[in-house]
Amino acid sequence: MVIFLFIRNLSATTIPSLALPFSIIGTFAVMYLLHYSLDNLSMMALILCIGFVVDDAIVMLENIFRHMEMGEKPLQAALDGSREIGFTIVSMTLSLAAVFIPVLFMGGVLGRLFKEFAVTICVAILISGVVSVTLTPMLCSRFLRSPEERRRSRFYRVTERFFDSMLRVYDISLQWVLRHRPATMVSFVLVLAATLYLFVKIPKGFVPDQDTDQILAVTEAAQGTSYFEMVQYQKAIAEVIREDPNVESLVSSVGGASASTLGGPNFGQLVVHLKPRSQRALLVDDIIEGLRPKLSQFPGMRVYLQNPPTIRIGGQVTKSVYQFSLQSPEKPVLYAAARDLERAVAALPGVQDVTSDVAIQSPQVTVTIDRDKAAALQVNADQIENALYDAYGPRWVSTIYAAINQYKVLLELKPEYQSDPQALSMLYFKSSGGRLIPLDTVAMVVKEIGPQTINHFGQLPAATLSFNLKPGVSLGDVVSQIRTIAQEKLPDTVGTSFQGAAKAFQTSLTNMWVLLIVAIMVVYIVLGILYESYIHPLTILSGLPSAAFGALITLFLFRMDLNIYAFVGLIMLIGIVEKNAIMQIDFALDAERNERMTPVEAIYQGCLIRFRPIMMTTMAALLGAVPIALGYGAGGEARQPLGLVVVGGLVFSQMVTLYLTPVVYTYMAAIQEGFRGYRKPSSLSPSPTQA
């Protein structure tokens, strides 16, 4: 559609469109050789490539078409046009692919997540570059017709007048900007400052929540609650959840492996399956917020609801998504610090479902051995332990062999003695001398309240706080607040660390900034090699602050975090925005060398001649990212920040760089001349003559 709108020729529209299937099929072949699968990230890369792989073909086609409009035959126009624009396409392709080189060598979560994404998009871009300099010129020479051989339709004449008026407006405004270059540079500095401010202030996130048609609920009763009581509680909670019209089914469990992992038999779990997204009006987060008040009415029960994270990273299984661990060799100090920190974190406005695994209200029986008496009666600790295990543990004493099955025989107390601590006084065991010794002769049995489990982390006793975020709250803000509270409230003997997704977020936040800086440096090096210059790569990269500003202000307006998907969008903008500057600067450098134009005249002519392909490639990339920005498809809300970053960055940078790049070019050309020891005379007022 974009190609037809600007070229208004069916054959010309079809030619660059062929670059898409060639690039995608070639990418599939490379993915097959690398044993990649079609998952969310690789599909997202292919969707984004749709807007990029046709860019090179569009630039090639437009330049050949321009030569035909100047009177050349299709074959000659294809030869001259491809020769003129070939280096530009190579520069655009290599610089865009170079953006993703640092991702290939990135470690940690980011590297594992986006390596396949980076390889997929790099391969598609490189294949499209090859297609653009080989297949596209050949097709143009064979299937394009000279303008005099074609009848101009009314649609062509109307749109041509519109495009001519756009070019005239740009021509007049560009002349004004080139006469007021200092004002433009002041605007550039202001945009740069605003971009840095937004980078600091915008909320930071990790992996955005995704609607997977599931809700995970963890139920917790008071310590000491029996299994049968827990079953009744669980049934009542499940009934309330089933009444929600968005729920399709659920699976409930009490005790078992999940309860042991969470802390004990007073825990349960429900996996709630929602109706497909197309059959319900509410998102999963809205459904969770609607269920919270209904499930808070059960006395003695706490229900923790969460949208299961798309990517579960490390950490232990907890009642909430994010985890903060405390470690100390002194258990009383550790438990007291955990309780204080839990109360402080629960008071934060951006968190909910704050809880910890410190459960010290569990009824216990402690058997303390009097070692002097035990030694006098020839009793050791192993004998006492074995006797207790015979009575209360699953002691396997024999096997019954049937015709087709085998049955294990377990030794246990009668049920009436199992729950009575007084039955311990009736426990006897043999001493080394063969005498029967009652337990209460050599040990003291004490009923007390203690921890249900004692967790360890790094060989030290540990306590873990877990929490969920309230809707609209960023993980970065909460992580900073918890870190500040821990520094203020915890003693020096207590060490702290985030675990799971929160820890991966901290690591990724540092890695993302490193990745962004390295990506810019790699692009600068590639451009420096291509142009054999230290100066003009800076001119090409001067549009990055405006693109970043447009991306960040878009996230801010839509109230979204700067998460890892959005950060990938920022990295992509580095490659997209520089393509426009390359088209402008390539023509200007060529005009300076071959036509002896001044830098101002050369960049002025280059901007006017490259105005149409710049608009075409930008619109193609923009429309390719629109479906992602709209959050279309299953799980689209997670990918939406990436699309918004690309769309917002392209729109703002397009408005700015059409004027900023020429101004920066003139200043950089003057600096380069100064390095060479002489300065060419130049006019600040460009000629209005259009090539």
Q: What is the pLDDT of residues 401-448, one digit of tens each?
A: 988 889 888 888 887 777 777 888 888 888 887 888 888 888 888 887
Phi/psi at 434 (nearest 5 deg)? 90, 5
pLDDT tens per residue across span 290-305:
998 898 888 888 888 8
Q: Which residue has the higher pLDDT, 349 or 459?
A: 349
What are the residue ranges spanned by the domains of the chain? 1-151, 155-201+533-691, 210-308, 362-450
Task: Provide the 8-state DSSP code for 562.
Answer: B
């990745």: which residue's tokens?
515
The pLDDT score that the predictor gives to residue 631 is 77
Q: Which two tokens stand for residue 196?
A: 């840095």
pLDDT tens per residue across span 475-507:
888 998 999 999 988 888 888 888 877 887 877
Distance CA 178, CA 176 (A): 5
Residues ≥6 apart with Cβ < 8 Å to 251: 270, 271, 273
Residues above pLDDT 90, as percent of the chain: 12
Domain 155-201+533-691 is classified in which CATH homologous superfamily? Answer: Multidrug efflux transporter AcrB transmembrane domain (1.20.1640.10)
Q: Where are the alpha helices (DSSP H) in 99-107?
A: 101-104
Q: Which two tokens stand for residue 419?
A: 């729950």
Distance CA 640, CA 630 (A): 6
For residue 275, give the H/E element and its range: none
- Between vectors from CA 627 to CA 626 and to CA 630, what angle results, nearest 5°? 85
Q: Which two tokens stand for residue 565?
A: 């998907």
Residues ≥6 apart with Cβ < 8 Å to 622: 51, 646, 647, 650, 651
Task: Return the number of other C-beta atoms located less than 10 Å from residue 440's C-beta.
Answer: 13
Distance CA 450, CA 161 (A): 84
Structural contact between residues 327 and 495, judged by C-beta atoms closer than 8 angstroms: yes
Distance CA 473, CA 348 (A): 11
The pLDDT score that the predictor gives to residue 111 is 75
Q: What number is the average pLDDT over the span 84-95? A: 85
The dihedral sign for the CA sequence 308, 313, 319, 321: negative
Identical fold at 1-151 and 155-201+533-691? yes
pLDDT tens per residue across span 551-607:
999 999 988 888 888 888 888 888 888 888 888 888 888 888 888 888 898 899 888
Task: Provide the 8-state DSSP code for 421.
Answer: G
The pLDDT score that the predictor gives to residue 314 is 62
The pLDDT score that the predictor gives to residue 361 is 67
- Between vectors from CA 379 to CA 375 and to CA 383, what angle results, nearest 5°? 145
Distance CA 558, CA 476 (A): 17
Task: Provide the 8-state DSSP code for 681.
Answer: -
- Does residue 517 register a pLDDT over 70? yes
- Does residue 626 register a pLDDT over 90? no
- Does residue 690 register a pLDDT over 50? no
Distance CA 656, CA 483 (A): 40
Residues ≥6 apart with Cβ < 8 Å to 242: 250
Predicted TM-score (pTM) of this structure: 0.76
Domain 1-151 is classified in which CATH homologous superfamily? Answer: Multidrug efflux transporter AcrB transmembrane domain (1.20.1640.10)
- Does the domain made of 210-308 have the CATH classification 3.10.450.750? no
- Torsion of the alpha carbons at 606, 121, 569 and 512, rounded to the nearest 10: -120
pLDDT level of residue 679 (50, 70, 90 thresholds): very low
How far from 114 is each of 212, 297, 575, CA to CA, in Å?
Answer: 21, 44, 17
Q: Which residue has the higher pLDDT, 227 or 292?
A: 292
E-state strands within 224-361:
247-254, 267-274, 301-306, 322-327, 351-356
Question: Long-range pairs for 227-233 at CB < 8 Å and ≥24 separation?
Answer: 227/254, 227/255, 227/265, 230/254, 230/255, 230/265, 230/266, 230/268, 233/268, 233/298, 233/300, 233/301
- Does residue 128 register a pLDDT over 80? yes
Q: What number is the average pLDDT over the span 257-264? A: 57
The CATH code of domain 362-450 reads 3.30.2090.10
């998907």: which residue's tokens?
565
- Does residue 256 register a pLDDT over 90? no
Buried b (16+ CB within 10 A) or exposed e, 486-509: beeebeeebbbbbbbbbbbbbebb
Q: What number is the average pLDDT over the span 253-262? A: 64
- Does residue 685 register a pLDDT over 70? no
Q: What number is the average pLDDT over the span 37-49? A: 80
The pLDDT score that the predictor gives to residue 386 is 84
- Torsion of the alpha carbons at 198, 200, 201 and 206, rounded to the nearest 10: 100
Residues ≥6 apart with Cβ < 8 Å to 362: 223, 224, 264, 449, 450, 451, 452
The pLDDT score that the predictor gives to residue 563 is 86
Structural contact between residues 70 and 565, judged by C-beta atoms closer than 8 angstroms: no
The number of helix segments (H) and strand segments (E) in the chain equals 25, 15
Comparing 125-129, 346-350, 413-417, 533-537, the range with the smallest average pLDDT is 413-417
